[in-house]
């Protein structure tokens, strides 16, 4: 099981770093929203560091839900590929402001992100879980923050 857990954690770390890269790209392409994208990018790097510390420090405590690990590895791998492809496309073909926000919203509601969010919101069963939930703090619920920001700034699909 240790190799499966390692793969799961590696894919999870890569997803967080890919999201950070995407948000940094949006930071550069959308100056009117740069502070928002910068904050999300930093939080994704923080998520990656938290996941890495599970692997480096707490893996022997076996706190990860094994059902999630077994079913999510391939989904995480596919999601990482999709995000990398989108980043590559967006470097030359800038999305509309709405498309950028909507894609970020979809990603934050994706399986990999949802499971991370679910883990961080569970009632802690160990001191390790308590530590991670405390460290995570305000980084939770990116999807809701994206949706709120879109509403607050009237970011709508003008192509519909």
pLDDT band at 141 (very low <50, low <70, confident <90, very high): confident
Map out the domains of the chain as residue ranges: 2-152
State the pLDDT confidence band at 132, using cuts at 50, 70 and 90.
low
Contacts of 52 by beta carbon, 8 Å cutoff, 6+ apart: 9, 13
Locate 156 and state its tokens.
């709508």
Q: Which residue has the tokens 């967080």?
A: 16
CATH number, span 2-152: 1.20.1260
User: What mean pLDDT comes out for the span 85-99?
Assistant: 97
């Amino acid at each position: 099981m240790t190799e499966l857990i390692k793969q799961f954690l590696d894919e999870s770390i890569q997803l967080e770093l890919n999201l950070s890269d995407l948000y940094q790209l949006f930071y550069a392409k959308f100056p009117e929203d740069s502070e928002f994208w910068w904050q999300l990018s930093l939080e994704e790097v923080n998520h990656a560091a938290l996941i890495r510390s599970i692997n480096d420090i707490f893996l022997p405590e076996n706190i990860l839900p094994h059902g999630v690990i077994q079913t999510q590895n391939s989904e995480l791998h596919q999601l990482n590929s999709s995000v990398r492809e989108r980043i590559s496309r967006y470097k030359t073909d800038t999305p509309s402001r709405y498309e950028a926000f909507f894609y970020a919203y979809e990603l934050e509601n994706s399986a990999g992100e949802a499971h991370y969010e679910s883990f961080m919101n569970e009632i802690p069963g160990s001191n390790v879980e308590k530590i991670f939930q405390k460290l995570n703090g305000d980084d939770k619920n990116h999807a809701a923050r994206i949706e709120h920001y879109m509403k607050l700034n009237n970011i709508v699909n003008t192509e519909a």
